[in-house]
Every structure is written in structure tokens, then in C-alpha cells.
């Protein structure tokens, strides 16, 4: 993103801006609104949220100067933006279907909404910046493929650990280093069985301005699994073991811990994703290796150690504060900073948090019924593991013991758009559907009319 500030300044000087349509005005979405007020050449012109008051609050908290009006149709939203007003709406389809946005930013964290919004944005000709990693690890490959078919771009947004990790990965690959491991520091104590109904969790979530479910997604490890699956699916790196290792480490010991077992580390192989527990967060890292004698001498002079393993470390990720950079990169330079490959490398599946019985209905990620683990897509497929993006609303068909992975045979998956899209994606992976038929089928999913 070198020199991107100059591009934004030039746009501002011309009296224009990158117009962002925001879907999801929670904590992260509100941060984006606030951050764009500090930048030149970019603004959030419309914010959609099922809670209309929350969308209005995003503009108030963000200290946006200007009139804020409600729109119920894309035409109303376009007219308001053209008149220099800011817009709020309850229906995300108003954002995807209007013309006066350059980039749609999905920030709900809800897999079903994320998939629907991504499809609709692409069909309407809008680039998409995806903060919704839960959607990406479930159907990201087909969303990216569909965007390319429509001549638009799909990107995982900058700022969160996946994109920050990918930044280091790209740097290391460009220099020809061997990639040993890419990972993040986990920034909450790990408790697989934590639930959002715990009074202590409710209190801590309130203190931090989070929903209890969002906090649990961090604490029970689900978010870490999700984020590193996104890195895996964008790079080809794989989890070394189910759930990854997650050893204790510090910034100074990363290149001794994330090395091969024969060299004193925890890894069975190189080319993996993982995470560390300890004083690493909010940083991300890539461990690289070189055996070139001249380069090892040069790295000693640069205080990188004696090798052959070296740590590349980014000590921060600014989450939603960095997201507008992805929107600008898409609109101005026609570049995506991160996208999934045309296949899933890793899968994140559900594991029972408590004994489950026939008739129970699974709640969502960060809930009371399941936590998440990562494995390779092929292994999860072989065992018919339940992807977490499809878990919400699934009805239990037979007893599942606490701590047991949930199989697709154990539940009846709730019919949904994302489930249909996932089935199409699986058929595409297995070459059971032609790309022409696939395009027609996805077009149909993307074309739900606004009532």
C-alpha cells in the first residue's frame, strides 16, 4: 500500500472520494466510520444495520459532519448520497443494490448475511471488502470466483490478523525465504468451554464494548481457528495438527518454538499455520528459513540471529482502523490485498461444548453449544465434519458427547442460502458442475428481490 495516501489526497483534491457502503454498524463498523473522518478521499456514505439506531449511532460516534437520513430503497439512498447526505438503512440490500458506492464493506460477522451480501454486491458490480472471516472460511473460494466472473474484486480487509499475517507472508515469499510457519498471538486466555451466559463474561464484554458472543469467540479459541484458516486458504499453508499446537512463546523465542522437532521445536513439517500463547499478541509472525551461508552471515549483521530460522514480526494489527486502506486499494488501484485460493485448504468445524441430545438446536459461533477446531479441508471432509459456518440452527439428530467433534451425520443442517452456496462450492471443487451452470446457479442465489 505504498503511496496510497497520495492517491487518496489526489482524489480529495479533485473533489471526489471513495464511497464505501457499510453493512454492519457494530463496534468494528463504527470504528471504520470514525477512521474515515480522519482520512482524505474516502467516506462511508451509507451504513446498514438491522438495528437502525445503531447505524445512526455509528455516524454520531464517528463525529461525521453532515445530515443523516434513512433510506428504504436503493433509489432513495442514491438520491440522498448525490445530495451530499449520509444514509442509514435496515436492509443490507439497499447498500448492495444502490449505484452511488464504490466498495461494499461487510462487517456483520454473520455467515449467512456475509455470503448473501457478497453475492449481491458482485452481481450489482461492486467490489467487496470482507471483514466477515466466518463467511470467508466457509464459502470464500466461490465468492471470490463469482466476483471475478462479474468483473469485480473480493478482498479480506486489512487490519485483522489474517491480512497482517499475509502481509509478512508476501514479503517473505518475494524474497525467496522458505516459509516455516505463519501465525498470531492469542490475546485471551483459552477456555474451550466458556459460554456467553457466564456473569463474569457478560461483565467483561460490557467493559470492552463487545457482545458476550463476540468475547466468547475469542476466549474459546474459535476466532483463532477461523483467522488462521483464512491465512491457510489464502496461502496454501496447513495446520500441522488438528487444532494447531498453540505453544507458549514470546517474541524472542518464536524462531525456536516454531521450528521442526528435530531442531528442538514443535513442528512436524514446515509450511504451517499456528498460534502462540504468551506475550505475542497483538502481533503476528512468519517464521522463515534460509540455508544460504552468505545470507546467514548478512542476517547476523542485521541482528536477526544465527539461523537457520528467523522471525519476521509485526507487533500490531489495528483491526477496523486499517480497513479503509483495503477499500481504497480496491477502488483506486484495482488490487486485492488478500483473497482465498480456488479451493479450501483448511476447514473449521464444530465440537460440542456440552452433551447434546436429539432435538437440541445449535446456536452460533461464540455460543453455548460448540467451539471450533481447524484441520485440513481434506481430513474434515473425509470425516464429514460440520463446518462452523453452517452450524447455526442445525438440529441434533443423535447424542453427541461433550468434547466430541460434530459430524454432518449428527445433525440436520438448517436450509439457508450459505448452505446452498456451500453445496455448489463442493460440487465445483469436485468438478461435478460446469462453470456455466455454476454461474447460473449462483446468479439465482444472488438475485433475491427487495420486497
Integer Cα distance of 206 and 244 in angstroms: 30
| pLDDT band for position 302 (cuts 50, 70, 90) | very high
Q: Is the pLDDT of residue 440 over 90?
A: yes
- Identify which of 108, 114, 113, 48 has the alpha carbon closest to the alpha carbon of residue 76: 48
Integer Cα distance of 321 and 441 in angstroms: 36
Matching residue, cell 464429514 = 384
Residue 15 backbone zone (phi > 0: left; psi -120 to 50: alpha; other: beta): left
Assign 3-state DSSP to the chain and report helix, strand, coil percentages, each to 5.
40, 20, 40
Provide the b/e sequence for 243-277 (b: ≥16 CB within 10 Å).
bbbbbebebebbbbbbbeeeeebbbeebebbbbbb
Residues 325-355: tens digit of each pLDDT: 999 999 999 999 999 999 999 999 999 999 9
CA angle centred on 49, ends 386 and 52, rounded to 5°: 145
Give CATH for domain 346-414. Answer: 3.90.1210.10
Integer Cα distance of 79 and 83 in angstroms: 6
Please report which residue ranges of 192-320 form alpha helices under DSSP H. 199-207, 212-219, 222-235, 254-257, 293-301
Q: Is the pLDDT of residue 1 over 80?
A: no
- Identify which of 230, 15, 261 has the alpha carbon closest to the alpha carbon of residue 131: 230
Matching residue, cell 537457520 = 308
CATH 3.40.630.30 assigned to domain 4-159+321-333? The reply is no
pTM, full prediction: 0.96
Integer Cα distance of 249 and 241 in angstroms: 18
- Identify which of 105, 77, 97, 92 has the alpha carbon closest to the alpha carbon of residue 21: 105
Distances (CA, A) of 265 to 190, 262, 309: 22, 7, 11
CATH 3.90.1210.10 domain span(s) along the chain: 346-414
Look at residue 245 in the predicted model and tell me its pLDDT: 98
CATH 3.40.50.720 domain span(s) along the chain: 4-159+321-333
Residues 349-386: tens digit of each pLDDT: 999 999 999 999 999 999 999 999 999 999 999 999 99
Q: What is the sign, positive or negative, of the torsion defined by CA atoms of 198, 204, 207, 208?
A: negative
Residues 111-125: tens digit of each pLDDT: 999 999 999 999 999
Tell me the average pLDDT of the chain: 96
The conformation of residue 356, written as its DSSP 8-state character, comes to: B
Integer Cα distance of 126 and 23 in angstroms: 13
Integer Cα distance of 131 and 360 in angstroms: 30
Q: Is the pLDDT of residue 318 over 70?
A: yes
Per the DSSP assignment, residues forming a β-bridge with 47 are 22, 88
Residues 49-104: tens digit of each pLDDT: 999 999 999 999 999 999 999 999 999 999 999 999 999 999 999 999 999 999 99
The conformation of residue 447, written as its DSSP 8-state character, comes to: T
**Contact indicator for 428, 344 with CB cutoff of 8 Å:** no
Q: Which residues contact 196 (CB under 8 A, 6 or more apart)?
A: 202, 205, 211, 212, 213, 215, 216, 366, 367, 368
Look at residue 187 in the predicted model and tell me its pLDDT: 77
Integer Cα distance of 4 and 222 in angstroms: 33
| pLDDT band for position 211 (cuts 50, 70, 90) | confident
Percent of residues, the chain, with pLDDT higher than 70: 99
Please report which residue ranges of 83-211 form alpha helices under DSSP H. 92-97, 111-123, 133-149, 161-174, 199-207
CA angle centred on 263, ends 257 and 266, rounded to 5°: 40
| pLDDT band for position 450 (cuts 50, 70, 90) | low
Strand bridging mode 395-396 / 411-412: antiparallel
Q: Is the pLDDT of residue 451 over 60?
A: no
CB neighbours of residue 82 within 10 Å: 11
Amino acid at each position: 500500500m505504498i503511496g496510497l495516501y497520495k492517491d487518496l489526497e489526489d482524489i480529495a483534491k479533485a473533489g471526489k472520494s471513495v464511497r464505501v457502503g457499510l453493512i454492519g454498524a457494530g463496534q468494528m463498523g463504527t470504528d471504520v466510520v470514525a477512521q474515515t473522518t480522519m482520512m482524505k478521499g474516502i467516506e462511508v456514505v451509507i451504513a446498514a444495520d438491522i438495528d437502525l439506531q445503531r447505524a445512526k449511532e455509528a455516524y454520531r460516534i464517528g463525529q461525521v459532519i453532515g445530515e443523516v437520513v434513512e433510506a428504504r430503497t436503493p433509489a432513495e439512498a442514491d438520491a440522498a448520497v448525490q445530495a451530499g447526505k449520509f444514509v442509514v438503512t435496515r436492509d443490507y440490500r439497499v447498500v448492495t443494490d444502490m449505484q452511488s458506492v464504490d466498495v461494499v464493506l461487510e462487517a456483520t460477522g454473520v455467515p449467512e448475511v456475509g455470503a448473501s451480501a457478497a453475492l449481491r454486491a458482485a452481481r450489482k458490480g461492486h467490489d467487496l471488502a470482507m471483514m466477515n472471516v466466518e463467511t470467508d472460511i466457509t464459502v470464500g473460494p466461490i465468492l471470490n470466483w463469482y466476483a471475478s466472473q462479474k468483473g469485480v474484486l473480493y478482498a479480506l480487509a486489512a487490519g485483522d490478523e489474517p491480512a497482517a499475517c499475509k502481509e509478512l507472508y508476501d514479503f517473505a515469499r518475494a524474497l525467496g525465504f522458505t516459509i516455516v510457519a505463519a501465525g498470531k498471538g492469542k490475546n485471551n486466555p483459552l477456555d474451550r468451554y466458556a459460554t456467553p451466559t457466564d456473569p463474569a463474561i457478560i461483565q467483561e464484554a460490557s467493559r470492552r464494548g463487545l457482545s458476550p458472543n463476540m468475547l466468547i469467540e475469542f476466549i474459546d479459541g474459535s476466532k483463532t481457528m477461523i483467522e488462521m484458516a483464512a491465512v491457510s486458504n489464502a496461502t496454501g499453508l496447513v495446520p500441522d495438527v488438528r487444532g494447531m499446537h498453540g505453544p507458549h512463546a514470546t517474541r524472542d523465542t518464536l524462531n525456536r518454538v516454531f521450528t521442526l522437532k528435530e531442531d528442538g521445536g514443535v513442528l512436524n513439517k514446515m509450511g504451517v499455520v499456528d498460534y502462540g500463547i504468551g506475550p505475542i499478541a497483538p502481533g503476528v509472525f512468519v517464521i522463515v528459513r534460509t540455508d544460504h551461508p552468505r545470507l546467514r552471515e548478512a542476517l547476523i549483521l542485521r541482528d536477526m540471529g544465527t539461523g537457520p530460522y528467523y522471525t519476521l514480526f509485526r507487533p500490531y494489527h489495528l483491526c477496523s482502523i486499517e480497513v479503509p486502506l483495503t477499500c481504497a486499494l480496491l477502488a483506486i488501484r484495482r488490487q486485492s490485498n488478500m483473497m482465498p485460493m480456488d479451493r479450501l485448504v483448511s476447514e473449521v468445524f464444530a465440537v460440542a461444548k456440552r452433551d447434546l441430545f436429539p432435538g437440541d438446536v445449535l446456536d452460533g459461533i461464540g455460543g453455548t453449544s460448540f467451539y471450533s477446531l481447524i484441520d485440513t479441508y481434506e481430513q474434515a471432509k473425509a470425516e464429514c465434519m460440520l463446518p462452523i459456518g453452517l452450524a447455526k440452527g442445525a438440529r441434533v439428530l443423535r447424542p453427541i458427547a461433550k468434547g466430541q467433534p460434530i459430524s454432518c451425520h449428527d445433525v440436520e443442517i438448517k436450509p439457508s442460502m450459505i448452505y446452498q452456496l456451500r453445496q455448489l462450492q463442493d460440487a465445483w471443487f469436485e468438478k461435478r458442475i460446469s462453470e456455466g451452470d455454476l454461474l447460473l446457479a449462483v446468479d439465482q442465489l444472488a438475485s433475491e428481490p427487495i420486497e
